[in-house]
Structure 1
Amino acid sequence: MKKDLQDEKLTMVTKEFKVSDTDFKQLETLLTKYVTALKENINSRFEDALSVLKAFDIFNPVSLPERTDTEFRDYGVTSLESLMESFYPNIEQDEKNEIVTEWNKIKYNMVEWKKLIIDDNNNSSDLSKTQMMLKMMLMRKTDFCNFFPHIIELADICQSMPVSNAWPERGASSIKRIKTRLRSSLKQDMIMTLMNVSINGPSTGDSQQVTEKAVKRWRSEKDRRKLPKQKPNNRTNESEGAQEM
């Protein structure tokens, strides 16, 4: 701000806008307090979740050692125990052992996928290496859910975690636009469909081509036959009136 006020191009605009060194000092102090309070608020809000988020790093292929390394055998077990405490708090010890066994088996598959992910220099996707590993696991969800049900579920949970609140806010705004007071009887499947169109669909200006195509398709269809207008039957009306009398 101080640099902008000293810009010669803005002299005509800011010649009457005088800011002293004391004012700049107050603004700097206010900004420092704001950033500090924001950091404390974020830490207090997500402090309990930091250990869980860190534990999900076991799906990062960069951290995964090779199967010939000595640390490969015990890799990820400690983090897996942290995830089990968060998402499976009431399971028995036998089931915990089953989850550890699932992890020790799927690690060998992850080593093979690691080579594909890291060696893929032509990858044009914006996904991180962890997201690519999770995507490979979930692409095989149908086959792997019978052999690694808990690990696939944990991968699904990790993949579904939002990295910001932008998407939830967009979803809330979309529901407000779609499910108004006069449309409160919409079912869940219809709401999900309309939300998908509202969030992921083209903007109003970009849908002109689709609209024109729909109109041409509608006009190209043959005319529907109109039903002839039926004249009222006087005899029927007279007989109904006589019965009522």
Structure 2
Amino acid sequence: MDAGSGKLLKVIRDKMQELIPMQDKLSPVTEKQEEAFTKQIFYPLLSAVLEQLETMFPDSDFLEHYTVFDRSFWPEDCGGIVDYHGQEDIKALADHLPFTHAEEAVEEWTVLKQVAVLATCKKSPYSLMIKLLETSLVQGYPNLSKIASVGLIIPVSRADCERGFSTLNRVKTELRGSLLANNLNSLLAVTMEGKTPEDFDFNKVCMSWASLKNRQINVNK
């Protein structure tokens, strides 16, 4: 978190203390308090978040193209307008991503629009993109599936990156500087996303590791 963000959070905390006195924190929120919260805290915080996103992702046009997956923005007309809707956005996304083919992606998009209503009942960009990651649709729309997978993992903050660097500093110490990349990635994944020690089955893991090959010492040789 940079200095500007820290200062903003301090201002927000101070405002919250002013709006909700200690004796009223357990009382129902009044309409006046709710209005003051919206104007003095919610809107400034929302503006700050949007500003951070624009700073972190200066290529805003790239993110805007992903709105094409939001069915609520699709035209209601089933004629010529809907046939061409989104083609420029899909082409722009495919051109931006080196592992997709723009012409094939546009062709896939033309077909997908006809079955989008049947594929998902929610007019949400996430529901349509998640559907594109299902096995049956991945095979039929390989380029759109890749585009959707990128859209679903775009971070909205630097917290995950900073968490990853902090974990890396804890795992790869000076005494473990010779760790191979694969082993280091596995350790980071277990540390960050693995189960807690209370829920982890150590016996099962030890038995699995021991069964990989014969680890007994042959004393007869």
- TM-score clears 0.5: yes
1:158-177 aligned within 5 A: 158-177=151-170
Q: Distance in 2 between matches of 1:43 and 1:164?
A: 7
Aligned-pair distance for 1:3?
Answer: 5.9
Q: Tell me the equivalent position of 2:85.
A: 75
Percent of aligned positions that are identical: 20
2-side partners of 1:100 and 1:36: how far apart?
A: 34
Q: What is the CA–CA distance in structure 2 between the aligned matches of 1:6 and 1:200, rounded to whole Å?
A: 38
Question: Once the two structures are superposed, what CA deviation does each residue of 1:150-198 show, in whole Å capped at 9, x if it has no partner?
Answer: 3232122212211222222222222112222221222222222212211
After TM superposition, list the pairs within 5 Å mapping 1:89-168 onto structure 2: 96-115=102-121, 117=122, 129-140=124-135, 143-144=139-140, 148-168=141-161
SS in 2 for 1:189: helix
- Gap runs ≥5 in structure 1: 9-30, 119-128, 219-223, 231-245
Distance 1:217 1:155, change over 3 A: closer
Task: State the SS of the aligned residue for 1:107.
Answer: helix
Q: What amino acid does structure 2 have at the position aligned with 1:143?
A: Q
- Kept in 2: contact 1:59–1:130 (CA 8 A): yes
TM-score, with structure 1 as normaliser: 0.55
User: Which amino acid is 1:55 matched to?
Assistant: H
Question: Given the two structures, how large is their TM-score scaled by the length of structure 2?
Answer: 0.60
Contact 1:67 1:111 in 2 (8 A): no
- CA–CA separation in structure 2 for the residues paired with 1:149 and 1:3: 52
Q: What is the distance in 2 between the residues matched to 1:85 and 1:177?
A: 39
**Residue 179 of structure 2 corresponds to residue 186 of structure 1:** yes
Deviations 1:22-77 (CA, angstroms, capped at 9, x unpaired): xxxxxxxxx9xx97995796376157332221210112244345683553212112
Whole-Å separation in 1 of the counterparts to 2:78 and 2:20: 59
Root-mean-square deviation over aligned CA pairs: 4.1
Helix, strand or coil for the counterpart of 2:120?
A: helix
8 Å CA contact retained: 1:131, 1:159: yes
Preserved contact between residue 108 and residue 144 of structure 2 (Cα < 8 Å): yes
C-alpha contact (below 8 Å) 2:66/2:151 kept by paired residues: yes
Say whether the 8 Å CA contact 2:133–2:145 is kept in structure 1.
Answer: yes
SS of equivalent residue, structure 1 residue 73: helix
Aligned residues: 178
1:86 paired with 2:96, answer: yes
Sort the Cα spacing of 1:105 and 1:7 in 2 relative to 1 into closer, same or farther, 3 A.
closer
Shift of 1:149: 3.9
